[in-house]
């Protein structure tokens, strides 16, 4: 079953990081592929051990492992790659036909990976503990399952910061405090030693009366 993250449509989806959207698209495609793989396993379990029913399973697992690896989900990709190698060896006769316990273990591993995909789509972050369960289930059939690689969360889209920057300078209109004093022109100062004095009268010279 496919799950959609609630409310993540339209403008909200457009703001998400491209890698995050691509990873979610890969998860949905892998979910569909895992449904097909589980159908292969169920058909084989109902048969009398006809390994030809598993003929298309390794290629399907290989395609999904490659897609998950490109999406940065190496842990899930490694589990599907181990399941691919196991089913390919069974199909080619390198391993004996699996019994009920082996097929149950393989089905548990595939179901755990599918649940990991569902939670990643819903929550937006990987739940590696689910992959630990898938790894443990597959090791009942394939002991050489590679160790898990932690999943790095997809980067988020950058949101522009509209917070005004505090420069420490108050706007001119909002400035407070006393108004600056206006500059006044300095009073003229007489130069020292140059005071004008009246000239003394000369003897014998009559002074004209002032009119």
Higher pLDDT, 6 or 145: 145
pLDDT, mean over the chain: 76
What is the pLDDT at residue 18? 73
Q: How far apart are CA 103 and CA 60, in angstroms?
A: 17
Residue 26 has pLDDT above 70, yes or no: yes
86-132 pLDDT, tens digit per residue, is 999 999 999 999 999 999 999 999 999 999 999 988 888 888 899 99
Asked if residue 105 lies in contact with residue 141, where contact means CB atoms within 8 angstroms, the answer is yes
What is the pLDDT at residue 210? 52
55-72 pLDDT, tens digit per residue, is 999 999 999 999 999 988
Phi, then psi, of 128 in degrees rounded to 5: -65, -25
155-172 pLDDT, tens digit per residue, is 554 445 556 565 555 555
Asked if residue 120 lies in contact with residue 93, where contact means CB atoms within 8 angstroms, the answer is no
Mean pLDDT calculated for residue range 41-66: 92
Q: How far apart are CA 141 and CA 45, in angstroms?
A: 15
Asked if residue 23 lies in contact with residue 152, where contact means CB atoms within 8 angstroms, the answer is no
What is the pLDDT at residue 4? 42
- Could you give the percent of the chain with pLDDT greater than 70? 61
Mean pLDDT calculated for residue range 32-51: 91
SS (H, E, C) 16-68: CCHHHHHHHHHHHHHHHHHHHHHHHHHHHHHCCCCHHHHCCHHHHHHHHHHHH
Reported pTM? 0.64
Q: How far apart are CA 43 and CA 58, in angstroms?
A: 15
3-state secondary structure of 91: helix
């Amino acid at each position: 079953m496919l799950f959609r993250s609630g409310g993540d449509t339209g403008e909200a989806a457009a703001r998400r990081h491209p890698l995050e959207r691509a990873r979610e698209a890969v998860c949905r495609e892998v979910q569909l592929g895992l449904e097909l793989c589980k159908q292969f396993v169920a058909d084989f379990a109902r048969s009398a051990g006809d390994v030809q029913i598993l003929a298309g399973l390794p290629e399907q697992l290989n395609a999904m492992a490659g897609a998950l690896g490109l999406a940065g989900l190496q842990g899930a990709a490694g589990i599907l790659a181990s399941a691919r190698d196991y089913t390919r060896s069974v199909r080619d006769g390198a391993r004996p036909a699996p019994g009920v316990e082996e097929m149950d273990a393989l089905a548990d591993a595939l179901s755990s990976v599918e649940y990991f995909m569902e939670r990643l789509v819903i929550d937006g972050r990987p739940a590696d503990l689910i992959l630990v369960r898938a790894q443990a289930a597959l090791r009942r059939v394939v002991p050489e399952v590679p160790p898990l690689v932690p999943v790095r969360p997809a980067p988020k889209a950058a949101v522009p910061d509209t917070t005004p920057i505090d420069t420490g300078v108050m706007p001119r209109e909002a400035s407070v405090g006393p108004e600056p004093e206006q500059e006044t022109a300095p009073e003229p100062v007489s130069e020292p030693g140059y005071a004008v004095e009246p000239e003394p009268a000369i003897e014998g010279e009559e002074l004209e009366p002032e009119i």
